[in-house]
Structure 1
């Protein structure tokens, strides 16, 4: 009979990264604000990556040695994996972010309910070790295919789909205490940026003031050893939900007129976009204003940007932006902007359920502004998209709506 899955609560192990000597950057003349690491030499960055890879490799070796030692000691091979679930997520009101708790699940080789995930974790560990040795990177999709094969003597594949593979990689991240970037894995690029800033991307200087109609594609890896910032002249960041809205702002040169950085996340922003926003907010104290749809999904996107997400609670400290503001579109804008009935999109049962869930989040539950906002949307009985403002005028959102909100400091926090 298969053993039951066991769970235990342990204190988080803090893995101390090896310290490296700080090098003195080469002095260069730059405008206004400049990232401290923007002038670091390519040689120093390579050394930093080498130290990081060495540290990650050591963690993988420790994982493997623990399993091997168990085998030789006659014990069942097992590994501890922190639980990535709402039940193991804590709201830190003081920091304003979600954090992962201490609950850990034990993944055992001879447990029929755990054997598959045990095998998948070791397969991906082996692939990551090979990437470190080759000093190469792979996409999430590439990792899925690299570890995909039919188990000998069976018709069973190691992974059914990429979703299953992605989940195992996230388990590996939290188990090792290493970020995805430290495992040499990247996600598909999604998100765009333009504005008063120069980015140094893997040694290449990119002036985001001269990106034409397409903008700078925000990479999935935005760590300091890859991305540095120069000439950060902007006063704030305006993040919009969709590319279609971003195009309107870019075409109208909003970022130039209002001295800002304009970004978009194509819906739910990727880690790369959130990391970019986080770094600019923390390193240069740039306020982040979000222009999102007036619906439960727009509210959730804001929640993730501001507090972090349950599935990635272990990364909140490097992704969340507690002081991010929700500029709109708001439930009161239907009357305030004198919009027509044509823009109304009726709330369905799923929308209503989701809205109530969001209203019950600890970080929204005691926020009177947000309780009023969600209650107003539910009483309206409809949701609205940012694009609905086009019914007023093609450039109403860039020339009147957002400038008025900024001037009046009219937003939700």
Structure 2
């Protein structure tokens, strides 16, 4: 297997080297009282919604990590360890999973009863800190996550010289890796991209040949979409000029998945230009579907307590949280959440099976598309 030579390697090395040189210069400067690393603040207070662009962005607030501050020293050490490992990977033309990096760097500090990392969440957060400190994204650092998500449909993708016919992937589909920018789209006959929240629904649509009958690229996210899936949706939409429809459960968690695909997430707001697809629209499930398709007997009660009964908690709290997001203030979305609260129920994609197994592929989705019953 040839070594990876990614497009931004030279720029990435320059950025990592600049970070290291800054620390060296601080060490050699007698006037410097500390070693510092500046990273952008990734909390909600520094995340802004750009209404014109239709996506989230990170503000101008920075935090400074100081080596001689006892509360910063551990994270400072972790940052330099991961940055050094990333530089090794780029220079050697190798890639590593974020899990592998965690295990490579996890060890006990000599002379101390202290580990460099206690769990992978610590190292994952440091990787994101390095992204914001250097401006180099995780994929440019030669780091990747486990594949998550599947793709089916009438498109042929060239992956590093290998042509992959995504109509010939059986019932398993193409596993979506975390690094997809190198994909080349050789040919396609798709009319739209359908992003589906649950694996069970993707399986249903594939079994019913929905992707073949309706010239659809199906992307199953298996719950909250990973970065690789979000990036692939973004580049396919932009390069192929295809509309994106999102099909998720009718609950606050499904609607949040839609908002992440459309506007970006707060934790990765600095990458919204790469990961968000502002023109994506929701095809279902909606609260109106419950009455329209006679699903009243197959809804699920919201979990937790409503606001006027000692809450909000659980589902009710999540609804109120999402309702307050700047990017969910359109009247049609506020109406969806209010109907959910008034009904006290949620409706899953699989509830459509109460009509028949093939109903979702043969009637529900085609009718929604034909009649443009979409939420923006």
TM-score (norm 2): 0.95
What is the distance in 1 between the residues matched to 2:4 and 2:117?
A: 34
CA deviation vs aligned residue, 1:54-113 (integer Å, no higher than 9, x gap): 221111111111111111112211111111111111110000010011111111100011
Matched, 1:63 2:27: no
Tell me the secondary structure at the aligned position of residue 283 of structure 2: strand
Residue 381 of structure 1 corresponds to which residue in structure 2?
344
Tell me the secondary structure at the aligned position of residue 315 of structure 1: helix
Are the aligned partners of 1:190 and 1:218 in contact in 2 as well (CA < 8 Å)?
Answer: yes
Contiguous gaps of at least 5 residues in structure 1: 1-42
Tell me the secondary structure at the aligned position of residue 245 of structure 2: strand
Residue 100 of structure 1 corresponds to which residue in structure 2?
58
Are the aligned partners of 1:84 and 1:100 in contact in 2 as well (CA < 8 Å)?
Answer: yes
Are the aligned partners of 2:4 and 2:94 in contact in 1 as well (CA < 8 Å)?
Answer: no
What is the distance in 2 between the residues matched to 1:342 and 1:335?
A: 11
Matched, 1:162 2:126: no
Matched, 1:79 2:43: no
Residue 272 of structure 1 corresponds to which residue in structure 2?
228
Matched, 1:197 2:155: yes
Matched, 1:126 2:84: yes
What is the distance in 2 between the residues matched to 1:80 and 1:340?
A: 53
Tell me the secondary structure at the aligned position of residue 116 of structure 2: coil
Q: Shift of the alpha carbon at 1:394?
A: 0.8
What is the distance in 2 between the residues matched to 1:220 and 1:192?
A: 12
Residue 364 of structure 1 corresponds to which residue in structure 2?
328
CA deviation vs aligned residue, 1:350-401 (integer Å, no higher than 9, x gap): 1111101111111112x01101111111101011110011111011111111
Residue 296 of structure 1 corresponds to which residue in structure 2?
252
Residue 310 of structure 1 corresponds to which residue in structure 2?
266
Are the aligned partners of 2:153 and 2:217 in contact in 1 as well (CA < 8 Å)?
Answer: yes
Residue 93 of structure 2 corresponds to which residue in structure 1?
135
Q: Shift of the alpha carbon at 1:139?
A: 0.5
Residue 205 of structure 2 corresponds to which residue in structure 1?
249
Tell me the secondary structure at the aligned position of residue 130 of structure 1: helix
Q: Shift of the alpha carbon at 1:331?
A: 1.0
Matched, 1:109 2:82: no
Matched, 1:219 2:177: yes
Q: Shift of the alpha carbon at 1:347?
A: 3.5
Contiguous gaps of at least 5 residues in structure 2: 305-312
What is the distance in 1 between the residues matched to 2:174 and 2:323?
A: 35
CA distance 1:179–1:264, shift in 2 (3 Å): same
The one of 35, 49, 59 aligned to 1:91:
49
Are the aligned partners of 2:243 and 2:280 in contact in 1 as well (CA < 8 Å)?
Answer: yes
Residue 148 of structure 1 corresponds to which residue in structure 2?
106
Matched, 1:411 2:374: yes
Residue 321 of structure 1 corresponds to which residue in structure 2?
277
Range with greater deviation from structure 2 (379-388 or 337-346): 337-346
Residue 9 of structure 1 corresponds to which residue in structure 2?
none
Are the aligned partners of 1:347 and 1:383 in contact in 2 as well (CA < 8 Å)?
Answer: no
Residue 391 of structure 1 corresponds to which residue in structure 2?
354
What is the distance in 2 between the residues matched to 1:89 and 1:132?
A: 30
Tell me the secondary structure at the aligned position of residue 91 of structure 1: strand
What is the distance in 2 between the residues matched to 1:209 and 1:305?
A: 24
Residue 186 of structure 2 corresponds to which residue in structure 1?
230
Residue 206 of structure 1 corresponds to which residue in structure 2?
164
What is the distance in 2 between the residues matched to 1:356 and 1:384?
A: 18
Q: Shift of the alpha carbon at 1:340?
A: 4.4
What is the distance in 2 between the residues matched to 1:68 and 1:273?
A: 38
